[in-house]
Amino acid sequence: MVYGDTRYYDKLHRMLVEKIIKEKPEFVLNVGDMVENGNDIRYWNNFLML
């Protein structure tokens, strides 16, 4: 499974992850643009759903 460009849409990212989990892929690759600002831990916390 390949996906990317989740940087602005936390709710959509969560929905995609839930759908990916249901598919049970053998491998998942995020191709980038994961967060809006990689230097700000708040964005990573949202991305990682912490």
Using CA atoms, how far residue 21 sits from 39, 41, 42, in Å, is 28, 25, 24
What is the band of 8 on the pLDDT scale with cuts at 50, 70, 90? confident
Q: Which amino acid is at 17?
A: V
pLDDT for the residue numbered 47? 86
Average pLDDT for residues 7-29, to the nearest whole number? 91
Q: Which amino acid is at 49?
A: M
pTM metric for this prediction: 0.75
